[in-house]
Amino acid sequence: MNEAIPQLVNYDEPSLEAAFATLAEEVRAADTTDPEAFRLHWLGRKQGRLKLVSEAWLKSAPAEARKPLGIRFNQLKQQIEAALEAPAAKPAVAAVQGIDISLPGTFRAPGIPHPLLKTMQEIVAVFHHLGYSTNLGPQVESDFYNFEALNFPPNHPARDTQDTLVIANQQTRPSRDRLLMRTHTSPVQIRTMIEQGPPVRIVIPGKVHRNDAADATHSPIFHQVEGLCVDTNITFSDLKGTLDHAMKALFGSDVKTRFFPSFFPFTEPSADVQISCIFCGGKGCRKCKHSGWIELLGCGMVDPAVFAAVDEQRIAQGKEPAYSPEKITGFAFGMGVERIAMIQHGISDIGHFYSGDMRFLEQFA
């Protein structure tokens, strides 16, 4: 155990550096599971290695080498003391190994964006190219932004605790101030329009929460990308053209889109957008339930009631009303990121995204 102190023939800088580096490495690799043994070994008054070093190197050193020697000696001593103070001694690595720089290093795979993030960024990028900017909002939202301003009537089923995860102990608050986990990214439409007047062109990527049981296509936490475009003379044709372009950008220029009448309280008219099945090209297969079409997102023209709620709020905050439905129109859309990523990659179980299984994730590297 007590190896001899290496001889120091030269007191020039490189020799000192090398000699102390050897000792520093010895300390670093030493077994400190028995701190007392470690202390004796290094700091023992008679036979401690530091004492031996001092005798072998310091005593016979030429005057001009004393200072650099002393500095290094003190550094080594501090290192030993630090090792003694370190919590819970290191695991026993008794055998001191020199560093062989010719050995391959520990391989660390470079990180990649999670497939969901990648798809989310792809969607956002499509709209950035159209001149949209990005807005974000809180995941803990108030009833006002998540429902009331979006024209959800007081007893709309989506407000049921069935779908909405509410924050506890809010009953004493006025209902519009009660907090909940946002069930969609649409409240950020309201936040944006209260903040800024038209023209508005924004995309809103983010997490949303619903009290849904997890199965192959549902997860209580998932992601959406919302879009909002408000200006003078925005028409349903603009909505159709924009989303048709976005779907082609995401799924390839061959896909067709079609718009089906639908309902959302905050858009009128509302539509569901379907794309021609990317698996069978529209012929009909198991993935599209033999219809040739896949339903992908919800959209519509901003309901005047939403503009009214926004302007009411702007006035309450001392801002000019800016969303008169006579002058201003707009469209909005919202899509599920998981669903789009599943279709892009042919993934059949949403759970894969959250499993952290490297065999799944590595396929997107």
Would you say 62 and 70 are in contact if contact means Cβ atoms under 8 Å apart? no
Pick the closer one to ligand PHE by CB: 266 or 353: 266
CB of 267 to ligand PHE, least distance (A): 5
The distance of closest approach from Cβ of residue 158 to ligand PHE in the complex, given in angstroms and rounded to an integer, is 9
Cβ proximity to ligand PHE, 111 vs 157, nearer residue: 157
CB 204 to ligand PHE: min, Å: 10
Q: Closest CB to ligand PHE belongs to which residue? A: 334
Tokens coding 204: 């809103």
Burial of 279 (0-12, 13-18, 19+ CB in 10 A): middle
User: Cβ of residue 333: shortest distance to ligand PHE, in angstroms?
Assistant: 5
> Which residue, 69 or 190, has its beta carbon nearer to ligand PHE?
190
Cβ 226 to ligand PHE, closest distance in Å? 6
Query: One-letter amino acid identity for 312?
Result: E
* CB atoms inside a 10 Å sphere around CB 134: 13
Nearer to ligand PHE, 198 or 300 (CB): 300
Tokens 């209580």 correspond to: 220
Give 230 or 299: the residue with its C-beta nearer to ligand PHE. 299
**Structure tokens given for 29:** 């690799």
Closer to ligand PHE by Cβ: residue 72 or 159:
159
**Long-range own/partner contacts, residues 82-88 (CB < 8 A, 24 or more apart):** 83/27, 83/28, 83/30, 83/32, 83/38, 84/32, 84/35, 84/38, 84/39, 86/32
Neighbours of 138 (CB within 10 A): 14
CB of 330 to ligand PHE, least distance (A): 10
Query: Smaller CB distance to ligand PHE: residue 226 or 338?
Result: 226
Strand partners, 301: 331
What gap in Å lies between CA 143 and CA 353, rounded to an integer? Answer: 29
Provide the binding-site residues for ligand PHE, judged by CB under 6 A: 184, 186, 226, 264, 267, 298-300, 332-334
Token pair of 318, please?
Answer: 């001392």
CB of 194 to ligand PHE, least distance (A): 17
